Amino acid sequence: MSAPPVIVLFRHDLRVADNPALLAAVAAGGSLLCLFIHDEVSPGIRPLGGASRWWLYHSLAALGASVERLSGTLHILRGNTVDLVPTLARRLGASAVTWNRRYGAAEVAVDTALKAALTASGISATSHNSHLLYEPWTVRTGAGTPFRVFTPFWRAARSLGEPLPPRPAPARLSAAPWPPGSPARCSIEDLGLLPGKPDWAEGLRAAWRPGEGDALARLAAFLGDGLAGYAAGRDRPDQAHASSLSPSLRFGEISPRQVFHAVHSAVLSGRASNRDGEKFLAEIGWREFSYHLLFHFPDLAKANFQPRFDDFPWRASGVADLVAWQRGLTGFPLVDAGMRHLWQTGTLHNRVRMVVASFLVKDLLIDWRAGEAWFWDTLCDADPANNPAGWQWVAGSGADAAPYFRIFNPVKQGETFDPAGIYVRRHVPELAALPDEWIHQPFAAPPEVLHRAGIELGKTYPAPILDRSFGRKRALAALASLNGRR
């Protein structure tokens, strides 16, 4: 007699290789019903931003094609997970439902309620680690408490040993039929994930091909061209050392174990130095640390990690400045290049992320939550852990944060990390004719230089929206007022 069917529930693990939940379902020996539920109605679930919705559409399409190649079918539902899955499991006569774990408070609550509902119906519910190298509760300080500083966290995590090697995709799936009387399925198009009018996704389509296959191709390309020299070049937006893997990690098109072992192999084979490999793995470690924080401090996207920042005097009248920042019209070329790059492609170089974030929260004195919300809407890799952790780090309110008085100077940052203005010229073409000497500070260029470059400040390119000396003094005064209320 054949084994009863199993439901495998996909969420942020949109791949068939190294997918523990899928492999466990296959190992059960019965037929499989592969299921994705677009759930933005369960309590506390944060709806995706626009760029992430675009990515999800194409990633689901790619996953569906991968499942079909294995003789399976990806079924899609929309609604409340805890309501839909037990009903479907009973109709199917499933013996088990399996999924990969999530770490946000709302997601944990959904999965806990789902497990309880399934267990009450006599259906096995099993969960697995797919999204992290080290799950949040496995890494603890000597006192048994969560870490608040990255370096000792990553040291402690690495001391737990190397993660298990990734496992290949199953050779074939045995597809279970959709049971009669079950909730109505929908198509990917029915989810309404793509922009309508206006269609703002042209730049995303030109920059990306979401899906597991392309994620693996980007990893291979990075190992071939970008990893060597990464430690020195990772801060250079004008160079090709970014892995471009963050959206794929966010949606689980590639696993951190696949990345870890591929990088480790490149170092062992001599294709990359240990220094470059460890520096890149530390970036994977920051992702791990961010999820560690999210799990133990679930209000990371809403509340200051350091409560003393609750009294910080953010400007309430900075709406026009916020809009100028969002549109890349601040008059500071590196900031504007970054924000236009973000809008066009749904991604942003890590060094430039820090610069534009510092400019918003320190020069403009605008609450970090406004920036976090904009990134959530415009980044393809808008991650529920990395995004707020990064913003709080820059704002000084987070764990292991940069001190608030560390204020990035966008001119000096540009001169240091984009010395020939390649990145700025790519994304702010109206400045292309400026000599390198002035490309990061057109507002300081002599009138004749601006004239020869065809630039008229305030018309062809914005004049600076603030005097940075004033902005710095205002930021430090705000910090002093906060310190005075300790």
> H or E element: which one contains 120?
helix 105-120
Q: Which two tokens stand for residue 459?
A: 């018309």
Taking CA 396 as the corner, what is the angle to CA 391 and CA 398, rounded to the nearest 5 degrees? 65
Q: Which two tokens stand for residue 366?
A: 């605008």
Q: Which two tokens stand for residue 260?
A: 């870890």
Contacts 24+ apart (CB under 8 A), 279-284: 279/230, 279/231, 279/234, 280/227, 280/230, 280/234, 280/243, 282/154, 283/234, 283/350, 284/133, 284/256, 284/259, 284/260
DSSP per-residue string spanning 445-485: S-HHHHHHTT--BTTTBPPPSS-HHHHHHHHHHHHHHHHTT
Q: Please give the positions annotated as active site.
A: 283, 286, 314, 350, 368, 391
Q: Phi, psi (5° rounding) for residue 8?
A: -110, 125
What is the chain's length?
486
Q: What is the 3-state secondary structure (H, E, C) of 233-281?
A: HCCCCCCCCCCCCHHHHHCCCCCHHHHHHHHHHHHHCCCCCHHHHHHHH
Burial class (CB in 10 A: 0-12, 13-18, 19+), 453: buried
Q: 261's torsion region: left (phi>0), alpha (psi -120 to 50) or beta?
A: alpha
